[in-house]
Structure 1
Amino acid sequence: MTGLTMIVITLAALAVGYFGYARWLEKTWGIDPKNPTPAVRLNDGRDFAPASRWTVFAHQFTSITGAGPVTGPIIAAMFGWLPALLWMLAGGIFFGAVQDFTALYASVKNNGRSIGTIIEDYVGRTGRQLFLLFCWLFTLLVIAAFCDMVAGTFNGFAKDGAEIVPNAAAASISLLYMVVAVFFGFFLKYAKPSAGVQFVTGVVLMVAMVAAGIAFPVFADAETWRYVVFAYLFAASVVPMWALKTPRDYLSMFLLIGMILCAVAGVFIENPEIRMPAFTSFEVNGLDMFPILFVTIACGAVSGFHSLVSSGTSSKMVANESDMRLVGYGSMSVEVVLGVVSLIVVCAAATDGALPAGTPFQIFSTSVAGFLTNIFGVPQDIAACILTMCVSALALTSVDAVARIGRMSLQELFMPAKGEAMTPVRKLFTNTVFATTLTLLLGYALCMAGYMSVWPLFGSANQLLSALVLTGLAVFLKATGRKGWMLYGPMAVMLAVTMTALVQQLVKIAEALASGNFVFMVHGLQGILAVALIVLAVLVVYHSILKLREPARVTKEEAAA
């Protein structure tokens, strides 16, 4: 097997999925280009703001494409390249892209509301509150981890005090992105340029910012960058989408798409040989392929977090229902390409069937930077700066979306039910500034207190979120008279994966307790969280199954109106 063969198979499969399966889903559920979307009907200039299809695609793609599609496949390669490839293709086409598209579709059909509030309509208020609480806690963990990751990437000093130029240059470029995005946002809103002018302007700005950042690196330590990142997250969470988040995502898209195109071009031109066996073993280093493979490769196959972006922010930007397939299904398909490229580079760098040393990001960055140097003649130091920036952008463009979604989840959690009064406490927690501040403060506290104590459960929590979202979406489709059987298989698989992973984690905790190696701040917290996740899943699934057994409320025609 060669890298070229693998990427050709991937592109062909994804093309069939996008132009065949996704289009069939559109026709099955009903897309009405003439139907005003929530972004148009409820345009408030803050959360609801219609944008062009490629602008929304840029937001969706950059928000969902975090560190996962790079780290997951590289780690999962220990089971061999074939299981990882098959899971990304099958998972991406039938699980992840369908989940993202359906979540976007359901939200647009429900006035741009989030999955949590949609669940209330079709599952019940108890299910909604449990889901929103889980989403909010999940965002705290992601904020803590990704902010720490970004700050570490921007750290301009080594342990011995030596300057790290690529990191400082990446930090400088990111600062420019934050500032320039504001001006670009005002340009888009008030100048209303054509798609061509917007594209050319975006490319020119990206090249200028990269050049300026490399020429004028900003050196600061990781702690300083944590403060900067959290300050940026506050701004990205409270200001209107069009003023910062949307334009920054659009500008970041050029960087990330450029990185992917460069990597794909490198695979086509160099056609690296795959030096890992197709399959190694069902158990590697004490880890079982089921469920570890399906938990490790989340982004790149299916990730519950994506649904929060689809229903939390993207649905409030879609200007036409016909854009949803590109935004929901298309962005996930591109992420699969990144995941497969990551798998190719790690397998090509293997030696005698053994994975190369280094972190997943180091392996990926070194390989793609090599493509830039060998194929395009980019100097090694500049290639290193560009790839460092791309890696940090993967995390930063996700965490700012997570921060905003966390804020909205907390607000929705305290919104009164019909007939309930808006008490002073509810008013406080639904205030945008307060909800944002509380979310970020707790995220920062978790970052400083040691989020790694519970990080091992992140993969299970993320995939459990996917299972719960698929369950809720299946209820939505059933209740509105639409076909939803295509979600039943993915829903069952993800429930089996996450429950198995959580039970295995509890077994390890019990073994640590029996052997006398139990540490409460590690094993205790993991155990509490694992039990809480299991209880949450059982309750939400129970309520959902009850609803699935009920007849549809309305006809398909009424639901599509």
Structure 2
Amino acid sequence: MITLLGGIALLIVGYIFYGRYIEKNFTIDPERITPAEALKDGYDFVPMSKSKNAIIQLLNIAGTGPIFGPIMGALYGPVAYLWIVIGCIFGGAVHDYMLGMISLRNDGAHLPELASKYLGKPVKHVVNLFSILLLMLVGTVFVTSPANLIKSITPDWLTLGVITILIFVYYIISTILPIDKALGKVYPWFGAILIISTIAIGGSLIFGGHNIPNLNLATMKNFNPKGTPIFPALFFTISCGALSGFHATQAPMVSRTSTNEKEGRFTFYGMMIAEGVIAMIWTAASMSLFDGKTLSQMIDAGTPSAVVNQVSVLLLGNVLGTIAIIGVIVLPISSGLSAFRSLRTILADYLNIKQDTLKKILMVTIPLYAISFLLTKADFNILWRYFNWANQVTAVIALLVSTRYLYLKGKNYIVTLVPGIFMLFACVVYIFSEPIGFRMGLTPLTYIVSVLATLAILAVYWKTGKKQKENLDPTDELLNDHLPIGTFASNGERTNQPLPVAEPKS
């Protein structure tokens, strides 16, 4: 119990102190006009309150990641706590804050556009590919996982296929609605269910007399019953609860609805810390209620949704347990929706299809859902494996974009470079060793090749960054950020009045 409570306390302390340092290093401008005001279109660019933006960000990034990932991460034992706490404070929260704020400074641009600007135009195509692949996998995984959970608490006549179709119908309707109607109205209720159910699970675990494993010298080892090595597997298993590239695709959505840069630390850094707390609770619950062999069998028999069901009922009973399961269900449904919404905007930007009419929106949306529906027929564990790798590669790209941004501005770029290098090496090892890659296994040769490949990538990255900085002049946009429409009046003075923008056509 001490490790669980201590870990949660460290996450909060990290938000207060390290989060404040990251904000100071970025150097916010509370007077700067945001894209929500300057580019207001009544659909994606809509000013919303700090509380709504925060709960939307939390539900967007959470999905089943901070629950399914920690459940599977619990197989490794208490060492999983370390990655959640350290990963959240120094990796995931920094990653989310930087990408969200850089997007806010660039008209709410998505990761591919930011990569094009800060890493070079050729990179844009690669990042678009990874972003589209990742979001398609995320959307599909976050259809299958809630469908399985819903099936566990509904009558037998409501089949898995019908539930899947109903989720897709909800997604389609919500995707074509303005963001303040699709997310702003519903997500506060979803958030309330999530928070109440998480507190209930955590409270029952702590005060219910359960033996919660602690991290100490005796338990700081690999407890995985299958013998899967901690590195790099653990860092891909627990992603959304520590560091996740999926968040880089979601932060720009909220950067288009934020009205003040002062909100960034709470909205972006803070909500990642909140996700870390959720991950800590579910990791502890999984380790406390099941031994490694039983937990592994439950996961192998289906998906981690079976563990969610058992944990909820064992800790809270049938009635409250069902409510807790509903609290878990809202996570993947909300993240699946936001994944498809981001996928639509990224693909539309890439293909230069302006999303200003319902016809154009559906032109991009319908084919995406059709492809995703076909992917739901694939094995969940295979989808999750590909999602994990694409997810962390995207995180590396986002951290390298953030590092280049800070480097060009002469700020402390070590805060994003270190987690970026660590995850880059993990991604290289993963693709060389795993069945989805080169199948080399975790041999000495794999590590040697991975080190060389990582160093080669970093050498190119450093060389291009140095050249980019040498060619800058004081007026370059890369140093001064993009100035949104309406930021300055015709006489060059700051104005808080955005230029009029036409309302979208129905």
Normalization by structure 2: what TM-score? 0.83
Structure 1: distance between partners of 2:143 and 2:288:
31
Relative to structure 1, is the Cα distance of residues 357 and 387 closer, same or farther in structure 2, using a 3 angstrom cutoff?
farther
Higher alpha-carbon deviation: 266-275 or 467-476: 266-275
Partner of 1:59: 56
Q: Render the CA deviation track for 1:10-33: whole Å, top value 9, x for unaligned.
A: 232112211101111111211122
Partner of 1:215: none
Query: Matched residue of 2:399: which SS?
Result: helix
Partner of 2:183: 245
Equivalent of 2:4, from 7, 10, 15? 7
Q: Which runs of 5+ in 2 are unaligned?
A: 442-452, 484-506
Say whether 1:223 aligns with 2:140.
Answer: no
Relative to structure 1, is the Cα distance of residues 560 and 43 closer, same or farther in structure 2, using a 3 angstrom cutoff?
closer
Relative to structure 1, is the Cα distance of residues 120 and 511 closer, same or farther in structure 2, using a 3 angstrom cutoff?
closer
Partner of 1:43: 40
Q: Is the 8 A contact 2:95 2:399 kept in 1?
A: yes
Query: Matched residue of 1:336: which SS?
Result: helix
How far apart are residue 354 of structure 1 and its match?
Answer: 6.6
Residues 149-160 of structure 1 mapped to structure 2, 5 A cutoff? 149-155=145-151
Structure 2: distance between partners of 1:63 and 1:121:
25
Relative to structure 1, is the Cα distance of residues 52 and 537 closer, same or farther in structure 2, using a 3 angstrom cutoff?
farther
Equivalent of 1:273, from 195, 202, 211? 211
Q: Render the CA deviation track for 1:71-91: whole Å, top value 9, x for unaligned.
A: 22222223221x201111100
Structure 1: distance between partners of 2:135 and 2:314:
35
Structure 1: distance between partners of 2:480 and 2:438:
51
Query: Matched residue of 1:289: which SS?
Result: coil
Structure 2: distance between partners of 1:352 and 1:43:
51
Partner of 1:305: 246
Equivalent of 1:25, from 1, 11, 22? 22
Q: Which runs of 5+ in 1 are unaligned?
A: 156-163, 169-217, 373-379, 417-421, 513-535
Say whether 1:367 aligns with 2:367.
Answer: no
Partner of 2:489: none
Query: Matched residue of 1:347: which SS?
Result: helix
RMSD, matched Cα: 3.2
Q: Is the 8 A contact 2:406 2:412 kept in 1?
A: yes
Partner of 2:402: 473
Structure 1: distance between partners of 2:337 and 2:211:
37
Equivalent of 2:352, from 403, 415, 431? 415
Residues 75-86 of structure 1 mapped to structure 2, 5 A cutoff? 75-81=72-78, 83-86=79-82
Residues 199-210 of structure 1 mapped to structure 2, 5 A cutoff? none
How far apart are residue 477 of structure 1 and its match?
Answer: 2.1
Equivalent of 1:291, from 232, 247, 252? 232
Structure 1: distance between partners of 2:86 and 2:137:
28
Relative to structure 1, is the Cα distance of residues 309 and 128 closer, same or farther in structure 2, using a 3 angstrom cutoff?
same
How far apart are residue 268 of structure 1 and its match?
Answer: 3.7
Q: Is the 8 A contact 1:167 1:385 kept in 2?
A: no
Partner of 1:232: 170
Q: Render the CA deviation track for 1:328-364: whole Å, top value 9, x for unaligned.
A: 0111101111111111112211359975753433334
Structure 1: distance between partners of 2:92 and 2:64:
16
How far apart are residue 129 of structure 1 and its match?
Answer: 1.5
Structure 2: distance between partners of 1:432 and 1:537:
40
Q: Is the 8 A contact 2:8 2:280 kept in 1?
A: no
Relative to structure 1, is the Cα distance of residues 265 and 451 closer, same or farther in structure 2, using a 3 angstrom cutoff?
closer
Query: Matched residue of 2:285: which SS?
Result: helix
Letter in 1 for 2:346: S
Partner of 1:318: 258
Q: Is the 8 A contact 1:70 1:342 kept in 2?
A: yes
Relative to structure 1, is the Cα distance of residues 219 and 537 closer, same or farther in structure 2, using a 3 angstrom cutoff?
farther
Structure 2: distance between partners of 1:42 and 1:121:
20
Equivalent of 1:403, from 334, 337, 340? 340
Say whether 1:388 aligns with 2:325.
Answer: yes
Query: Matched residue of 1:431: which SS?
Result: helix
Report percent identity of matched pairs.
24
Structure 2: distance between partners of 1:234 and 1:329:
30
Higher helix share: 1
Higher alpha-carbon deviation: 249-258 or 278-287: 278-287
Query: Matched residue of 2:298: which SS?
Result: coil
Structure 2: distance between partners of 1:537 and 1:119:
19
Q: Is the 8 A contact 1:58 1:253 kept in 2?
A: yes
How far apart are residue 257 of structure 1 and its match?
Answer: 0.9
